[in-house]
């Protein structure tokens, strides 16, 4: 699976990529990348089928481990354009990118 930096992920989102946050709702409420779609790993297997297979999908979690697991599930289910955000939300915040409902 490809790895992308937070700034690369943000650029890809501006071009239509879907950012999927696989953390739990309480973690997401604390801080999340603006535009990220919450899809907790605990429910991921039953919900990822709603993601379009022809879209670019970038996975994010806190630091990158859970999102990599979820991305591997997608790749194993026929999704082909899946990347993992290196460093997760921690790196997103460190890079000063927008969080929450920021625009």
Residues annotated as part of the active site: 61
- Cβ pair 30, 75 in contact under 8 A: no
* CA distance linking residue 87 with residue 54, whole number of Å: 25
Strand partners, 83: 2, 58
Q: Collapse the DSSP code of 83 into the 3-class scheme (helix H, G, I; strand E, B; otherwise coil) and give the result.
A: strand
* CA distance linking residue 78 with residue 9, whole number of Å: 21
- Cβ pair 38, 66 in contact under 8 A: no
């Amino acid at each position: 699976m490809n790895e992308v930096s937070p700034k690369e992920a943000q650029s890809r989102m501006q071009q239509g990529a879907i950012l999927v946050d696989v953390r739990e709702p309480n973690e997401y409420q604390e801080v999340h990348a603006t535009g990220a779609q919450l899809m907790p790993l605990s429910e991921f297997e039953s919900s990822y089928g709603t993601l379009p297979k022809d879209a670019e999908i970038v996975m994010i979690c806190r630091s990158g481990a859970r999102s990599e697991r979820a991305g591997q599930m997608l790749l194993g289910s026929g999704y082909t354009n899946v990347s993992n955000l290196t460093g997760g939300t921690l790196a997103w915040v460190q890079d000063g990118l927008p969080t929450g409902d920021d625009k």
